[in-house]
Each structure stands twice: as structure tokens, then as C-alpha cells.
């Protein structure tokens, strides 16, 4: 278990962060800039000493103000990946990686050099210097160097922030591999909901120095009351499913999830692989009867289980579809004209083209 309970005053800003998360997979800290996310990473790494509290990774206590424990940063075995790669420009990729490798005590070298190189697909880059690498390649090398420190925890502070869309897609794949193929817990900071939904197992909503909520990604995203913090425009439900079929002629994927199935475009996964799909609430339409002769391929029977506030131009609905949940955003006029409310049986319609590479990734 990852246990964070820290309090620190930073001028007029007060950090009072408290949450517990599994000590495996990715725990994402999501929130606006200035909300305290990076300050949490600094406390874990030992770069900033809390005024009070406790930090523990599994059975290892890194900080405990009551017991007088404050492990020095160099002894915490923390890997840190920043927004910019911070590679040594005069060293080759191989030597940058070996810098991390040499810092780890020989008895604690559980992750091999060749293993990391293969995991991150950087074998062909070993003899290059950082000046000859793309942004995505630099970040992969930075991740490799952090792994070779043999960390008990890996901290990633907006590692994709400086990359263009193509480079982001490139490195997202490798971070997914890192999540799935290593036992190292990762704390990942981001203010991009797309990254968090695709990568994270646990999501911590950070607001004004506090953890407003901590739960699995689907549980957080499916709550109407958290919409102001998860994003009004990009917010929506998250479904975990399995690719059942790929129609190569039409570029459509059939995804089965608890409660039904979806057809989606551009999902890069093979039949049998697990995927996570984000369906934005603004991409969901509602009908009271099965529609006929329409282009929308996903029509899912469900029931309205929660209605958001009715004091604006728009209304959010939470809809149970089997064992899963969808969110829909309608105009208040449509909501009233359809006579909707909690308990209404409806058909939720989702365009296949609304579910693509940007909203689907490996679960």
C-alpha cells in the first residue's frame, strides 16, 4: 500500500494531502496547475520536507514526523522522471542509462540493463547522444535511467507535457508496458484527463492542496458530483472491456463490456486484449424507443439512475447499462420534453467515430 499523509505550508498555500493507494500500477494525481501535485512528488522523493505527516511505500517508511523518521533522498530509492528528460548531453544513451545503473547497490539490482532496453525499445539508440534523439526518445531514455536506479517507487511529473501529439502516442504505449510488466508502483502527475484515463489504475483528484477524491478511474469518472474537477468538456464515463473482433475491411472494433458491446474506430488492440474506453458525456444521445434507420451503430438499453442539477442550460444523467455506467449531457429543454428522470428507461446512442485512439487504450 502507498500511504501519503503530509502537511506543509508553502507561503500562503497549505498542502494537506492524505490518500492511500495500491503499491502497484499507476496512481495518477490529477488537478489544475498549482493545486499541489508536484509538491506531493517532492515530498515522496525527499526533496521537500513536510511539516508533519507520514509517507510509506509498502512496508518501508520514508517519513514519519511522530517517530522522527526522515530517510535521506539518496537512500529512498526513488526514480524521478521530469517534464524534460534532463539527460546528460555529453553522454551517449548507453552511458546515460549506466549512470542510473551505477547508482544502485549491486545487491539490489533486480531490473537488468538489457531488460529495460528491451522494455522501452531503445536498443537502436544506445550509441546516440541526446542531441540526436526525438522528444519521445529522450523521455523513454529518461524512464530507463530512472528504472535502472532500481527504485521502490517511480515518480513521473507530467512526462508528456513537452511532447507533440505524435510523440505522446509513442510514449503512452511504453508507459502502458511499464505499468503492466513491472511491479514498481508509479505516481503519475498530469492535468490531461486523456492521459490519466488511459494509464491510471487509481485516480486522486487534487484541489487546493487536498485530495478531493481517491478511487479507481472508472469510479471517479462515473460520479456526477465530481464533474467540475474531472472536466466539463472532456468528462465522461469509463468502461473496461475486451476486444472481441476486428473488422479490418471497415476499421471497426467490437468491444464487449459488462452490460453490452460497442463498435469503435481506430482501436489498436487484438481480439482478446483488454481495453479501457472513455465515452464523453457530450457524445451520448438519448432516445425513448429503439431508433430505426440511423447511422449511429451503438444503441444501448439502460436506465437513468441519477440526474444532475437542473439549474442551467444543460443536464447530466448517469445511466446504468447492465453492470456498467454511461454519462450523458443533454440540453435541459430536451430533458424536460422527453419527460426524463431517475428511473426512466432509455436507449443511449454513441457514435462509433466518437471512440478512437484518443479515448481508448490498454486496460
- In this structure, is residue 228 part of a structural domain? no
**150: three-class secondary structure by DSSP:** coil
Residues 159 and 243 in one domain: no
Cα first-last separation, the chain: 21
Residues 126 and 213 in one domain: yes
Last residue of a domain, one of 173, 197, 221: 221
d(CA 220, CA 222): 6
Q: 219 CB contacts (<8 Å, ≥6 apart)? A: none
Q: Which pLDDT does position 358 carry in this prediction? A: 64
From the list 296, 297, 241, 249, the residue with the least C-alpha distance to 269 is 241
Q: Which pLDDT does position 268 carry in this prediction? A: 81
Residues 160 and 240 in one domain: no
120 and 143 Cβ atoms separated by less than 8 Å: yes
Helix (H) or strand (E) holding 140, with range, is helix 135-148
Residues 179 and 277 in one domain: no
Q: Which pLDDT does position 357 carry in this prediction? A: 63
Residues 173 and 296 in one domain: no
Please, how many CA atoms are within 13 Å of residue 208, restricted to the half-sphere of its CB?
3
Residues 298 and 176 in one domain: no
- In this structure, is residue 231 part of a structural domain? no
Instruction: State which residues form the domain around 131.
Output: 2-221
d(CA 287, CA 45): 51
DSSP output for 34-78: TSSHHHHHHHHHTSS--SEEEEEETTEEEEETTTTEE--GGGS-E
125 and 137 Cβ atoms separated by less than 8 Å: yes
- In this structure, is residue 181 part of a structural domain? yes
Residues 213 and 261 in one domain: no
68 and 99 Cβ atoms separated by less than 8 Å: no
Residues 217 and 354 in one domain: no
d(CA 174, CA 177): 5
Q: Which pLDDT does position 242 carry in this prediction? A: 94
Residues 217 and 336 in one domain: no
Last residue of a domain, one of 221, 245, 274: 221
Q: Which pLDDT does position 362 carry in this prediction? A: 65
Q: Which pLDDT does position 103 carry in this prediction? A: 80
Which CATH number goes with the domain that contains 243?
A: 2.40.50.100
Q: 310-346, pLDDT tens digit by residue?
A: 988 999 999 999 999 999 999 999 999 999 999 999 9
Residues of the chain with pLDDT under 70: 232-234, 357-363
Residue with cell 485512439: 357
Query: 276 phi and psi, to 5 degrees?
Result: -115, 130
Which CATH number goes with the domain that contains 181?
A: 3.40.50.300
Q: Which pLDDT does position 232 carry in this prediction? A: 63
Last residue of a domain, one of 174, 194, 221: 221
Determine whether 140 is exposed, middle or buried from the number of CB atoms within 10 Å of its CB (0-12, 13-18, 19+).
buried
Residues 13 and 141 in one domain: yes
Q: Which pLDDT does position 110 carry in this prediction? A: 84
Q: In what order do the strands lie in the sheet with 298-307?
A: 284-287, 345-350, 298-307, 314-321, 324-331
d(CA 54, CA 174): 32
What is the tally of structural domains in the chain? 2
Amino acid at each position: 500500500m502507498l500511504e501519503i499523509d503530509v502537511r506543509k505550508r508553502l507561503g500562503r498555500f497549505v498542502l494537506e494531502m492524505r490518500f492511500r493507494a495500491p503499491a502497484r500500477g499507476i496512481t495518477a494525481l490529477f488537478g489544475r496547475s498549482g493545486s499541489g501535485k508536484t509538491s506531493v512528488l517532492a515530498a515522496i522523493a525527499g526533496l521537500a520536507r513536510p511539516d508533519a505527516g507520514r509517507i510509506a511505500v509498502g512496508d518501508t517508511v520514508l517519513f514519519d514526523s511522530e517517530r522522527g523518521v526522515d530517510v535521506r533522498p539518496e537512500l529512498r530509492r526513488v526514480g524521478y522522471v521530469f517534464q524534460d528528460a534532463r539527460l546528460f548531453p555529453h553522454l551517449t544513451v548507453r552511458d546515460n542509462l549506466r549512470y542510473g545503473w551505477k547508482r544502485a547497490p549491486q545487491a539490489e539490482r533486480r531490473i537488468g540493463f538489457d531488460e529495460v532496453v528491451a522494455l522501452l525499445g531503445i536498443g537502436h539508440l544506445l550509441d546516440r547522444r541526446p542531441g540526436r534523439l526525438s522528444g519521445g526518445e529522450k523521455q523513454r531514455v529518461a524512464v530507463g535511467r530512472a528504472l535502472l536506479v532500481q527504485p521502490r517507487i517511480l515518480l513521473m511529473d507530467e512526462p508528456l507535457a513537452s511532447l507533440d501529439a505524435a510523440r505522446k502516442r509513442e510514449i503512452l504505449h511504453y508507459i502502458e508496458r511499464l505499468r503492466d510488466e513491472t511491479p514498481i508502483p508509479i505516481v503519475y502527475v498530469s492535468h490531461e484527463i486523456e492521459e490519466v484515463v488511459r494509464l491510471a489504475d487509481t485516480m486522486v483528484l487534487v484541489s487546493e492542496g487536498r485530495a478531493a477524491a481517491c478511487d479507481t478511474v472508472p469510479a471517479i469518472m462515473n460520479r456526477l458530483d465530481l464533474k467540475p474537477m474531472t472536466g466539463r468538456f472532456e468528462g465522461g464515463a469509463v468502461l473496461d472491456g475486451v476486444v472481441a473482433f476486428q473488422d479490418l475491411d471497415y476499421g471497426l472494433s467490437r468491444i464487449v463490456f459488462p452490460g453490452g458491446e460497442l463498435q469503435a474506430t481506430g482501436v489498436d488492440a487484438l481480439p482478446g486484449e483488454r481495453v479501457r474506453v472513455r465515452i464523453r458525456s457530450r457524445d451520448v444521445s438519448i432516445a425513448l424507443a429503439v431508433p430505426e434507420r440511423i447511422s449511429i451503430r451503438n444503441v444501448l438499453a439502460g436506465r437513468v439512475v441519477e440526474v444532475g442539477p437542473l439549474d442551467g442550460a444543460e443536464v447530466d444523467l448517469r445511466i446504468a447499462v447492465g453492470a456498467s455506467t454511461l454519462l450523458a449531457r443533454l440540453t435541459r429543454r430536451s430533458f424536460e420534453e422527453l419527460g426524463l428522470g431517475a428511473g426512466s428507461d432509455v436507449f443511449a446512442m454513441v457514435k462509433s467515430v466518437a471512440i478512437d485512439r484518443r479515448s481508448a487504450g490498454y486496460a
